Amino acid sequence: MSRNRLLVAILLFLLSILMISQVQTENLTPIYEFQVIKTPSVVRSWKSVSLLYPDHYHTPEEVYEELVQVANTAPAITRLFSLGESYEGREIYCMHITNKENSNPKAGALFVAEHHAREQITTEVSLRFILDLVNNYGTDPELTNFIDNQDIYFIPALNPDGLYYVVGNETVDGNPWLRKNMKKFDDDNDSFFDEDPIEDVNGDGIISEYDRYEWINNDWEFIEYWFEGIDNDEDGLVNEDQLGGVDLNRNYDYRWNDSTLDSGWGSDSLSEVYPGLAPFSEPETIAYRDFLSNKSFATAMSLHSGINATYFPWSSMGYWAESSLYYQIYRDFIELLPKGYLSGEGYSSSRTLPSYTTAGDWADWMYAREGCLVPLTFEIYHNTSADTYGTVFYIDEGNELILQWDVIYEYFAPYEGPAIQSVYEDIQTTFPYWLGLTPRLDIKVTSVSGNMSIGNNITIKLEIKNLSPLIDTIDSIEVLDESFNPLLYNGESVSIGEILAEETSKPSFFYTLENDLEIGDKIVLKIGNAYVGYYTIEIKENMFHEQSIKFDFTYFLLMIPLIVIFQKSKKKTL
């Protein structure tokens, strides 16, 4: 090879390297992969279970057996634990149902039953819905989705002592009318406790209640009531030191013992609505309060019986705190429940509460103190025919009327048997509806762009929909890092803002790189808040880069004469 030809070849080689270098340095554009991490449903490995004790009211011990059966059957989606102990030392159990493979905090839903002892039908309904969730997981898409994306909590018996004395005590010494917990009081100040309870005096198996009315202003006005019983302590008074102490649903710390209200105040421990010595004076309400200390619920449901009704805050003020929202839920319940189920409520177009005001109420406390937007008191049972069961026991010409009531079970709960299941079937549709009200998010990452070097900002664009048809996200949606610390930009926390019901937001924000992003590195972020739960997104650089091949014509033109020289040199050599 001639010296000229060798020189031309070297120049061609160097120009080629320069062209390749130019293409690589000018066309390296970071390409990112991104995804919202969605936990797959649990692979179901269990068979459906039935109640161990169908068609009768469960004792506290039987409630526990049912919950243990469920927990042992489906451990992948259930967790059974105790909130604490009741006044008499019984455990207050809670069943947590969720997809455990998703470890992020999720949107919460809460059901609490049996504030009041004689409303044991509420415990039965809770047990049946727990079974429905576990038995339909993996087969019912809607219920499966709720369990995968929510933390669902059930407290089937907040008042297990009361449940025992109404259901689990096999002697008539138990009180079928019992409303309160079993806190002992010396009601008659004789230094003895609960020594003069109500009793079945005539041995007919029924403890009767007597209501006294007086004819006032051309109408019968209720004056007082008392129960069948005898003077056990021979002090000339009957039933003046009864079993049962505090109405748990008047023991919450919002307008507690407020004497300006109609119900739930005073110092008479014999009162059916006695609020206790102080707010949260009872171990049952303390256990419930402490359970809520690190949780946030947009919705919660407290089950009661005695009438068919739905009650929202404010119970203490006589009007609705969220009038349009609550009225829409009420109208939805009318559609979901059997015809006429809520016909006795009498809600007017002004959307005011139809009953008297109460102090220390669960729902008002949940709304005012715990930030729960929709705490519903759902009265699930009332036998309207029981309204006419009161028989005239005494009437005189002095305008006094006394009615005798013998039908406690017909009023607050049906008799044992298939009727228990029928109550559940009547209201069954309301529970999935309630879970669907809980605000949850559907998140998509639409684009990620920016340089991968330290100190640069990556722009992240999202599309977020609030899946609740009626309830907003309560608080702003926040962006956190992998350790759930606030993501900062220019020293400020990154916030997306509140998202209204069924609305879609399309936010974008900057992520400042603290280190060079290498191939295989990931950015992990958490999107959400305490009410809707948190969702994980992952962003990483793709190892393949999109490159458009382009020629630099300056270098190409320089190569043309060199190629001609090279060819001429080659011919001479030949």
pLDDT digits (tens, 9 = 90+) for 513-531: 888 777 778 899 999 999 9
Look at residues 382, 381, 421 and name the one whose alpha carbon lies nearest to residue 55: 421
* C-beta of residue 453 within 8 angstroms of C-beta of residue 508: no
Which range has highest mean pLDDT (161-175, 205-219, 314-328, 419-433)?
Answer: 419-433
**Which DSSP string corresponds to 349-387?**
TT-B-SS--BSS-HHHHHHHHH--SEEEEEEE---GGGG
pLDDT one-digit tens code per residue, 60-77? 999 999 999 999 999 999
pTM greater than 0.85? yes
For residue range 108-127, what is the model confidence (pLDDT) as tens digits?
999 999 999 999 999 999 99
- For residue 355, what pLDDT is reported? 63
CB-based contacts of 87, cutoff 8 Å, min separation 6? 161, 181, 182, 183, 245, 282, 283, 284
User: Quick check: 96 and 79 in contact, CB under 8 A?
Assistant: yes
Residue 263: beta bridge partners? 358
> What pLDDT is recorded for position 569?
54
Instruction: Say if residue 547's pLDDT is above 50.
Output: no
Give yes or no for residue 564 having a pLDDT over 60. Answer: no
Does the structure show a pLDDT above 80 at 354?
no
State yes or no: pLDDT of 17 exceeds 70.
Answer: no
d(C-alpha 499, C-alpha 505), whole Å: 7
Assess whether pLDDT exceeds 80 at residue 251: yes
Average per-residue pLDDT in the chain? Answer: 86
Please give the pLDDT value at position 299.
97
What 8-state DSSP symbol labels residue 106? B
**Which DSSP string corresponds to 435-463?**
HHHS--EEEEEEEEES--STTPEEEEEEE
pLDDT tens sequence across 320-336: 999 999 999 999 999 99
pLDDT band at 344 (very low <50, low <70, confident <90, very high): low
Does 573 or 429 have the greater pLDDT score?
A: 429
The superfamily CATH assigns to domain 439-541 is Immunoglobulins (2.60.40.10)
> pLDDT by residue (tens digit) across 291-318?
999 999 999 999 999 888 899 999 898 8
Question: Which has the higher per-residue pLDDT, 553 or 180?
Answer: 180
Cα–Cα distance for residue pair 177/166, rounded to 1 Å: 7
Distance CA(164)–CA(59), nearest Å, equals: 6
Do domains 160-437 and 439-541 share one topology? The answer is no
pLDDT reading at 573 higher than 60: no
Element (H, E) at 110: strand 107-112
User: What is d(CA 122, CA 159) in angstroms, rounded to the nearest whole number?
Assistant: 11
Q: Which pLDDT score, from 0 to 100, does residue 387 have?
A: 66
Segment (H or E) for 153: strand 150-155
Host H or E run for residue 154: strand 150-155
Check residue 546 and give its pLDDT: 43
Tens of pLDDT along 94-111?
A: 999 999 999 999 999 999
Length of the chain equals: 574
Query: End-to-end CA distance of the chain, in Å?
Result: 10
Query: What digits encode the pLDDT tens for the residues 190-204?
Result: 887 887 788 888 877
* pLDDT confidence of residue 224: 86
Given pLDDT bands bounded at 50, 70 and 90, which one contains residue 168? confident
> What's the Cα-to-Cα distance from 167 to each of 86, 119, 124, 195, 572, rounded to whole Å?
16, 10, 12, 21, 115
CA atoms of 116 and 179, how far apart (whole Å): 5
> Domain limits of the chain?
3-25+547-573, 160-437, 439-541
More confident residue, 21 or 226: 226
Q: Is the pLDDT of residue 429 over 60?
A: yes
- Domain covering 160-437 in this structure, CATH number: 3.40.630
Q: Determine the pLDDT at residue 25.
A: 43
CB of 370 within 8 A of CB of 297? Answer: yes
